Amino acid sequence: MPFLGQDWRSPGQSWVKTEEGWKKTTTDDKNNNVSEERSNEPCKENLLLSLGYDMAAKKRKKDLMNNNTKVPYFHREKWIYVHKGSTKERHGYCTLGEAFNRLDFCSAIKDTRRFNYVVRLLELIAKSQLPALSGVAQKNYMNILERVVQKVLDDQQDVRPIKELLQMLYISLCGLVQDMGKSVLVGNINIWVHRMENIMQWQQQLDSIQINRPKSTGMTLTDLPASLQLNIMQRLWDGRDLVSLGQVCPELGALTEDRLLWKRLCQYHFTDRQIRKRLMVSDKGHLEWKKMYFKLSRCYPHREQYSDTLHLCTHCHILFWRDTNHPCTANNPESCTMSLSPQDFINLFNF
């Protein structure tokens, strides 16, 4: 079939933007503009020089980002579209490492509502998902972990969970480094040995931390009535915090032995069936709720509680923090939003 249109080998039509709009340029217009272009050659040379300087500056900035391991990787959008397969609109799938880089965890650790959530997520990744991260995500993981340790050293709070996180990460890396060469970890083995040395240094800093007693400016916990002290203790969801609180003074130690306090703690974290399997009775015929709690903790996971979590929009399949807006097209975005626990976040990328 003959080709009836314009020859595809021709240079095509040229368009110029004017005050009246876009217009086609003719051969006469091109000849008239030759003299003007020649007169503007010095300006073009200056423009090319400025463009060359801009490209060189961008290259130096990119090299700095690649070489400086302290700089976190960030994106303008604080949400990510989670897709597990190729469609007509999108090709490929979203990985755990990509989501870890996009969701701005560096800012999340500064928020007290999200700190425990991020720490639990770092713990799950250190336990089994570290090889699933890309090289950039692994680098970002260590940067975020360093910021977490520095925050704990500055605030002198949440020391125990961070020490447990570092211990778990070090044990996992010991096993992964032995398998280097089997596509387990990305990067040279010397890099990971250096990172393990940093983890040991962070552990030593946390072990030698000295908790400064705050300056008393008014009423303290021991000045409150016993009923109010018990009411405050009921807000603690970890039994180890109760034990630590009881070591402050003998008065608080006696209150932390309250049987009703440990009973509520057991009923909060564990089901009735789990409690019935681990019953412990004293010589006087009373249930040893405190001993049962620690025995149940060794057998079953605790109920997780977080002030703020990541959310998934089931309508547009976008993962985001609650206070960040995402381009949702649903009529009622609140009805199609579900909260994700750290384990749910990990399971979201298990293909």
Complete DSSP assignment for 215-268:
PP-S--GGGS-HHHHHHHHTT---HHHHHHHHTS-HHHHHHTT-HHHHHHHHHH
10 Å Cβ neighbour count for 37? 10
Considering the domain architecture, whether residues 135 and 188 belong to the same structural domain is answered as yes
Considering the domain architecture, whether residues 103 and 194 belong to the same structural domain is answered as yes
pLDDT in tens, the chain (351 residues): 454 544 445 455 677 777 777 777 655 555 555 444 444 445 545 554 555 556 655 555 554 455 444 444 445 577 888 876 555 555 456 778 888 788 888 888 888 888 999 999 999 998 888 888 888 888 888 999 999 999 999 888 888 889 999 999 999 888 887 765 555 677 778 888 888 999 999 999 998 888 777 676 777 888 888 888 888 888 888 888 888 888 888 888 888 888 899 999 999 999 989 888 888 888 787 888 889 999 999 998 888 888 888 888 888 888 888 887 777 878 887 888 888 889 888 888 875
Partners of residue 287 on adjacent β-strands: 281
∠ CA 147-148-154, nearest 5°, is: 85
Instruction: Please measure the distance between the N-terminal and C-terminal CA atoms of the chain and give it in whole angstroms.
Output: 49
Q: Is residue 325 part of a domain?
A: no
Count of structural domains within the chain:
2
Q: Is residue 339 part of a domain?
A: no
10 Å Cβ neighbour count for 252? 17
Considering the domain architecture, whether residues 189 and 138 belong to the same structural domain is answered as yes
Q: pTM of the entire structure?
A: 0.69
Name which of 158, 104, 97 is nearest 322 in CA terms: 104
Contacts of 13 (CB under 8 A, 6+ apart): 24, 25
- With both helix axes pointing from N to C terminus, report the angle between 239-246 and 289-299 in degrees, rounded to the nearest 10: 140
- Decide which of 207, 223, 248 is a domain's last residue: 207
Residue 15 phi, psi dihedral angles, 5° rounding: -120, 140
Rounded Cα–Cα distance for residues 83 and 66 (Å): 28
Considering the domain architecture, whether residues 142 and 183 belong to the same structural domain is answered as yes
Could you tell me the residue range of the domain that residue 124 belongs to? 79-207
Q: Is residue 178 part of a domain?
A: yes
Considering the domain architecture, whether residues 125 and 171 belong to the same structural domain is answered as yes
Q: Which pLDDT value is given to residue 58?
A: 59
Q: Which pLDDT value is given to residue 72?
A: 45
Q: Is residue 4 part of a domain?
A: no
Residue with tokens 């423009």: 47
Rounded Cα–Cα distance for residues 335 and 312 (Å): 11
Exposed/middle/buried for residue 335 (C-beta within 10 Å: 0-12, 13-18, 19+): exposed
Residue with tokens 């306090």: 261
Residue 176, token pair as written in the block:
């992964």
10 Å Cβ neighbour count for 22? 8
Rounded Cα–Cα distance for residues 242 and 300 (Å): 19
Considering the domain architecture, whether residues 187 and 286 belong to the same structural domain is answered as no
DSSP for residue 281: B
Q: Is residue 220 part of a domain?
A: no
Considering the domain architecture, whether residues 196 and 245 belong to the same structural domain is answered as no
Rounded Cα–Cα distance for residues 242 and 240 (Å): 5
Considering the domain architecture, whether residues 194 and 254 belong to the same structural domain is answered as no
Rounded Cα–Cα distance for residues 321 and 310 (Å): 5
Name which of 179, 168, 93, 85 is nearest 131 in CA terms: 179
Check the CA dihedral 260-265-266-272 and report its sign. positive
Q: Is residue 214 part of a domain?
A: no
Considering the domain architecture, whether residues 250 and 197 belong to the same structural domain is answered as no
Rounded Cα–Cα distance for residues 141 and 131 (Å): 12
Residue 130, token pair as written in the block:
């570290």
Q: Is residue 233 part of a domain?
A: no
Rounded Cα–Cα distance for residues 292 and 275 (Å): 8
Considering the domain architecture, whether residues 91 and 142 belong to the same structural domain is answered as yes
Considering the domain architecture, whether residues 106 and 158 belong to the same structural domain is answered as yes
Contacts of 68 (CB under 8 A, 6+ apart): none
Considering the domain architecture, whether residues 288 and 244 belong to the same structural domain is answered as yes
109 contacts 148 by C-beta, under 8 angstroms = yes
Rounded Cα–Cα distance for residues 85 and 101 (Å): 20
Q: Is residue 128 part of a domain?
A: yes
